[in-house]
Homo-oligomer: A and B are copies of this chain.
Amino acid sequence: MIMFIKIELNSDTPIYMQIYDEIVKAIASGDLKEGTVLPSARKLAANLGINFHTVNKAYNLLREHRFLLLNRKKEFVVQRSRDEKFMEKLKDQELKLFEEAIAKGFTEKEILNMLQNVLKRQKKSEEL
């Protein structure tokens, strides 16, 4: 299995976080389907030219957040869990973000516009 992950070594976001984000993005866009077995942490690390532990940390974080599971063959496999607790957390986070934006002086319309732009951008990447 071939993984296309771009890593910016000189970014301010940690490498393991970049891997995390890229895999979530790939699941969201449909590039990684449910049941897909990810390359082993060691192989992906070799491909990216980084350390095994860095990839391992990303994989374990993804497992904690239920984007991956470890099967009995000790492979990391993509799952789409749809847990409702996540949605509740998301709601709380969004409420807090909106309050901050409005406290900053942005209007509801501006926020909605921004949200729609972001969703459009997301949808495009899904269609490619």
Interface residues of A (CB under 8 A from B): 10-12, 14, 21, 24-25, 27-28, 57, 65-67, 69, 72, 79-87, 90-91, 93-106, 108, 110-112, 114-115, 117-119, 121-123, 126
- Contact flag A118-B104 (CB < 8 Å), given A12-B81, A24-B99, A99-B24: no
User: How far, in Å, is A73 (CB) from chain B's closest CB?
Assistant: 11
A91 to chain B, nearest CB (A): 6
> Bound state CA distance, A100 and B79, in angstroms?
12
Given A72-B57, A94-B118, A112-B119; A81-B102 close (CB under 8 Å)? no
By the criterion CB–CB under 8 Å, are A99 and B25 in contact? yes
